[in-house]
């Protein structure tokens, strides 16, 4: 995304509960907590697996592929330096339906966004924080 201006974002306070997520992009991949015992992906953080109560929960790389489960076109200038309108999407990861991430869709014109659009993760670096974003997947039918 070198051709795109990087606009500032409110960035997360990094804690023991979230560092794996916001820094996994440094390795060029997205990581989500997963239960080693039953395989459940968990997001946001939980100390025990909420399904089987195993303590063996740790970050694991995911494919970074997903689909747009929902989206909204935001017109309200909450942040004066960010031009409106812009897309806020809810992306559902292909590994598990209920892992849903709020994201922006750089490289996706507003008129092309739709529920079901295949997307893949990319990262925008802000210091030691790598904000996961999603782009239309290569070869995605923008219908």
Partner 1 sequence: MASYGEKQACVSGLGQSSINRKPSVYPFKLAVEACLRAIEDAGLTIDDIDGAACWPGGVNFLGEGPSAAAVGDIKNSLGLKLNWYSSGEGAAMFAPVINAIGAIAAGYATHVLCWRAVGERWVPTYSHANAAGGPLPRVAGWMQWTAPYWAPSAANWTALVAGAHMHRYGITREQMAAIPIVQRRNAGLNPNAIYREPLTMDAYLGARMVTTPFCLYDCDVPCDGATAVIVSRLDAAKDLRRKPIRFEAVGAAATDRMDTWFARDDFPHMMMHDAARAMWRRTDLKPKDVGSAHLYDGFTYLAMFWLEALGFMKEGEVGAFIEGGRRISLDGELPLNTNGGQLSEGRLHGLGHLHEAVLQLRGQAGERQVKDLKVSVTGVGGGGFGGALLLTNEDL
The site for partner 1 (CB under 8 A) is made up of 8-13, 15, 18, 42-44, 46, 50-51, 69-80, 82, 85-86, 88, 90, 98-104, 115, 131
Length of the chain: 143
49 contacts Zn ion (rule: CB under 5 A): yes
* Identity of the residue, 60 or 120, whose beta carbon is nearer to Zn ion in the bound complex: 60
Could you tell me the CA-to-CA distances from 45 to 51, 59, 92, 122 in Å, in that order? 13, 10, 17, 21
* Identity of the residue, 37 or 88, whose beta carbon is nearer to partner 1 in the bound complex: 88
Cβ at position 60, least distance to partner 1 in Å = 17
* Identity of the residue, 128 or 139, whose beta carbon is nearer to partner 1 in the bound complex: 128
* Identity of the residue, 50 or 109, whose beta carbon is nearer to Zn ion in the bound complex: 50
Which residues have CB under 8 Å from 31's CB, separation 6+? 20, 21, 24, 59, 60, 61, 62
How many Å apart are CA 101 and CA 87, to the nearest integer?
14
How many Å apart are CA 104 and CA 119, to the nearest integer?
11
Cβ at position 109, least distance to partner 1 in Å = 15
| Residue 140 contact among partner 1, Zn ion, none, beta carbon within 5 to 8 Å by kind | none
């Amino acid at each position: 995304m070198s051709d795109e201006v990087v606009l500032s974002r409110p960035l997360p306070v990094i804690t023991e509960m979230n560092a794996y997520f916001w820094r996994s992009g440094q390795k060029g991949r997205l990581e989500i907590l997963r239960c080693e015992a039953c395989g459940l992906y968990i997001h946001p953080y939980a100390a025990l697996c909420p399904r089987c109560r195993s303590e063996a929960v740790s970050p694991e790389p995911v494919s970074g592929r997903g689909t747009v489960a929902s989206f909204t076109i935001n017109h309200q200038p909450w942040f004066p330096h960010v031009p409106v309108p812009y897309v806020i999407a809810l992306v559902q990861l292909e590994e598990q339906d209920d892992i849903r991430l709020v994201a922006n869709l750089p490289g996706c014109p507003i008129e092309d966004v739709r529920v079901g659009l295949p997307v893949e993760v990319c990262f925008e670096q802000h210091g030691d924080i790598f904000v996961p974003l999603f782009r239309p997947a290569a070869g995605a039918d923008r219908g």
